[in-house]
Chain A
Amino acid sequence: RKEVEQDPGPFNVPEGATVAFNCTYSNSASQSFFWYRQDCRKEPKLLMSVYSSGNEDGRFTAQLNRASQYISLLIRDSKLSDSATYLCVVKRSSASKIIFGSGTRLSIRP
C-alpha cells in the first residue's frame, strides 16, 4: 500500500461545477500537508498548504481530517484553467520524508 494515495481520475466535469478530491495517508506521524498543481509537461507548483482548521483561498478549500488520515481539496465554480493534475503532498518532520501522491487528473470541459 502506498503511503499517500490519490484517485488518479481523470475527473471530467463541466465548467462551473464543484469538484472535490480526497487524499489518504497512512502514517500518523505526518505533520505537514500541501496541495500542488502540475500542468501537462510542466513542473509542480504549490496550490495551497493545508492547515488543521481548514483553509480557503478563493475558489479553493482544503481540509484536513487527522482522525481519518485524509486531506481534501474542493474547487468551486471550476474554470477551464483549472484543468491540471493535483498532487497531494505529505511531510513528516525531516526533509527526507516528503511523500508525493501520484496525482489526480482534472479536466474541465466547456
Chain B
Amino acid sequence: NAGVTQTPKFQVLKTGQSMTLQCAQDMNHNSMYWYRQDPGMGLRLIYYSASEGTTDKGEVPNGYNVSRLNKREFSLRLESAAPSQTSVYFCASSESPGGGSPQETQYFGPGTRLLVL
C-alpha cells in the first residue's frame, strides 16, 4: 500500500518550458489536492478535486492547470514555467472533503521539488 505517490521527485526547468507533475493514490479516496510550499508561506492550495470528474480552484491557481484523470490520478500542469513557480509541490488525498470528520484527514505525497531558472 503505497499511499500517495508523486513523480518526479526533482525537476529543473527553464523559463517558458512546460511540464506535468503526476500524482496517484491507492487508498480509494474521493478527494485530491495540489499544494505548493514556499519558505515562510505555509502550504497554499492550488487546485483540488472533490470527486472524480470535478476540479476547482484553490488559493493560487494562476499559471496551473489540473486533470483528474480517474479516481486514482490527479495531475498538475505548468504550461509556461516561471521562476515564481519555484517551489515544493505536494499532492494530497482524503476520503472526503466534508466538515470535521476523520474522513477529512489529508494524506500527502513525498513532494516534487521544482526549480525554474
CB within 8 Å of B: which residues of A? 4, 8, 31-32, 34, 42-46, 49, 87, 91, 93-96, 98-103
> Which of B33, B35, B99 meets A93, CB within 8 Å?
B99
Instruction: Determine if A43 and B40 form an interchain contact, defined as CB atoms under 8 angstroms apart.
Output: no
Nearest-neighbour CB distance to chain A for B110, whole angstroms, equals: 5
The segment from B14-22, B42-50, B64-72, B78-86 found at the interface with A is B42-50
In whole angstroms, how far apart are the Cα atoms of A77 and B108 in the complex? 28
Smallest CB-CB separation from B56: which chain A residue? Answer: A96
Told that A8-B40, A95-B33 touch, could you supply 5 new A-B pairs with CB distance under 8 A? A44-B43, A44-B90, A91-B104, A96-B56, A100-B44
> Which of A42, A43, A91, A95 meets B56, CB within 8 Å?
A95
Instruction: Determine if A43 and B110 form an interchain contact, defined as CB atoms under 8 angstroms apart.
Output: yes
Which 3 A-B residue pairs are closest in the complex by CB-CB distance?
Answer: A95-B97, A43-B108, A102-B42
List the A side residues contacting B42 at CB < 8 Å: 4, 87, 99-103
List the A side residues contacting B108 at CB < 8 Å: 43-45
List the B side residues contacting A95 at CB < 8 Å: 31, 33, 48, 50, 56, 97
Instruction: Determine if B102 and A100 form an interchain contact, defined as CB atoms under 8 angstroms apart.
Output: no
List the A side residues contacting B109 at CB < 8 Å: 43
Q: Contacts A32-B99, A43-B111, A49-B102 given: A96-B48 contact, CB under 8 Å?
A: yes
Nearest-neighbour CB distance to chain B for A50, whole angstroms, equals: 10
Nearest-neighbour CB distance to chain B for A24, whole angstroms, equals: 14
Taking CB atoms and an 8 Å cut-off, the chain B residues in 1-45 that contact chain A are 31, 33, 35, 40-45
In whole angstroms, how far apart are the Cα atoms of A87 and B108 in the complex? 14
Instruction: Determine if B40 and A32 form an interchain contact, defined as CB atoms under 8 angstroms apart.
Output: no
Q: Contacts A8-B40, A32-B104 given: A98-B110 contact, CB under 8 Å?
A: no
Nearest-neighbour CB distance to chain A for B39, whole angstroms, equals: 9
In whole angstroms, how far apart are the Cα atoms of A10 and B81 in the complex? 33
Taking CB atoms and an 8 Å cut-off, the chain B residues in 96-114 that contact chain A are 97, 99-100, 102, 104-111
